[in-house]
Amino acid sequence: MNVKPNLTPESWQYRDLNKRAPSLSVLADTLIELAGQGHPVAAGTADLQHSNGLVKFAEAYPNRFVQFGISEQNMVSAAAGMATTGMIPYVATFASFLGLLTCEQIRMDVAYCAQPVRLIGHHTGISMGFYGTSHHATEDISTMRAIADLAVVSPADGAQFRQLLRHSATYPQPIYFRIGRGHDPVVYGDDEPFELGKAKIHGIGKDITIIACGMAVHGAKAAVDALNKAGHSAGLIDMHTIKPLDEAAVLEAANNSRIVLTVEEHNIMGGLGSAVAEVMAENPVTARLKRHGIMDEYALISPPMRLYQHYKLDGDGIREVAQTLL
C-alpha cells in the first residue's frame, strides 16, 4: 500500500488558517452576487453541496439549484441541457470525478455543442491526501486541455477565483475551473484585477522566470522572493488561464530569461508545462525549459502538506529546484 509512514498530527493540519482564504465559499457568494445582478446563473452539484459551499446558493436561490446526487455524468449532461434554455449553469464536484469520469459528457454535450457551462472541479491535485489515487486529480488539466473550445482555468486563491468567476458570466465558451480544497494560501488582495486568458506577470527574471498555476503560485512566489534575496534575478508569471494560453507572456519570459521553470500540482505530462513547451518549441526562444510537478506517477497517499513537501511544491521545494537549475 502506497502510504507515507511516521506522520505526526501536526503534519496534516493546515497551518496559519487565519491567513488563508476560503475559496470554496467564494463560489456560492459570487454566484449569489451574479444572480442578484440579473445573470441567469444556476448551480448544481453531485452530493457535495456542503463540501463546495453551494448549500448557501441553494438557500438563496432554491429554484436555481439542483442536487444531482452521486451521478456526475448525468449532472454534466443536464447542465448542457439547462444551457440550451438560456441559463448559465455552474456545476461542481471533486476534480478527480469531473475532469476524468465525465470527460465524454464534457466533450460531446458541453464543448462540442458550444454550451456555456461552467465546470468547477474542486479539491484538485493532491489536496485530498489520504483519500488516495481515486480522489487525486493530477491528470485533469491534460484531459480538459485536449477538448476543443473548452477554456481551462486554475486560480491561485479565493480572490482570484472570485474575479475570474465574475468574468465567466459573460464568457462565450464553456470553462473548466480547477480550484483547491477551500483553505488556500492568500496570494492576492480582493481588488486585484484579472482577466480570463491574460496571465498575471509579477516580473521577468534575467536568470529564471517561474510560470505557475493554481496552488503552486503561492509557493513559487515565496521561492522567487528567496532567490532574489540570494542575489539572483528571478521572476514569476501566474498562468491562471492554461487554455487559451497567454503565449505572449510565455515568449516574453522565454526570450528574456536564461531558464523558464513551470510549476504545477499536476502530472508534468500534458499540463501547464506541456502547454508552455509547445509554445517554446514552435517559436525562436533562448531560454532552457524545466517542467516541475508530479513526475508522471501516481501520487503517494499522505496528508496534503506532507505531499507538497515530498513533491517539492511548497516554497522551499520550488526554491530548491530553481537553485539546482541555476
**Over its length of 326 residues, how does the chain's per-residue pLDDT go in tens digits?**
333 333 333 332 333 323 333 566 899 999 999 999 999 999 999 999 988 889 999 999 999 999 999 999 999 999 999 999 999 999 999 999 999 999 999 999 999 999 999 999 999 999 988 888 999 999 999 999 999 999 999 999 999 999 999 999 999 999 999 998 877 789 999 889 999 999 999 999 999 999 999 999 999 999 999 999 999 999 999 999 999 999 999 999 999 999 999 999 999 999 999 999 999 999 999 999 999 999 999 999 999 999 999 999 999 999 999 999 99
Give the H/E segment covering residue 121: strand 118-122
Whether 35 and 148 share a structural domain? yes
Query: Does residue 245 lie within any of the structural domains?
Result: yes
Answer whether 0.85 is exceeded by the pTM: yes
Query: Does residue 191 lie within any of the structural domains?
Result: no
Q: How many domains does the chain have?
A: 2
Say whether 264 is catalytic: no
Helix ranges (H only) for the chain are 23-36, 55-60, 72-83, 95-96, 103-105, 140-145, 158-168, 216-229, 247-254, 272-281, 304-310, 315-325
Q: Which CATH number does the domain housing residue 207 bear?
A: 3.40.50.920
Whether 283 and 140 share a structural domain? no
Query: Does residue 112 lie within any of the structural domains?
Result: yes
SS3 content of the chain, % helix, strand, coil (to 5): 40, 20, 40
Task: List the one residue out of 28, 21, 24 whose CA is nearest residue 43.
Answer: 28
Burial of 108 (0-12, 13-18, 19+ CB in 10 A): middle
Whether 90 and 139 share a structural domain? yes
Q: Are strands 183-185 and 175-178 parallel, antiparallel or unpaired?
A: unpaired
Residue 69 structural domain:
20-185
Whether 312 and 230 share a structural domain? yes
Whether 161 and 133 share a structural domain? yes
Our CA angle for 143, 148, 151, nearest 5°, is: 75
Whether 28 and 102 share a structural domain? yes
**Neighbouring C-alpha atoms within 13 Å toward the C-beta of 106:** 32
Out of 72, 139, 264, 265, the active site residue is 72
Whether 160 and 205 share a structural domain? no
Query: Does residue 115 lie within any of the structural domains?
Result: yes
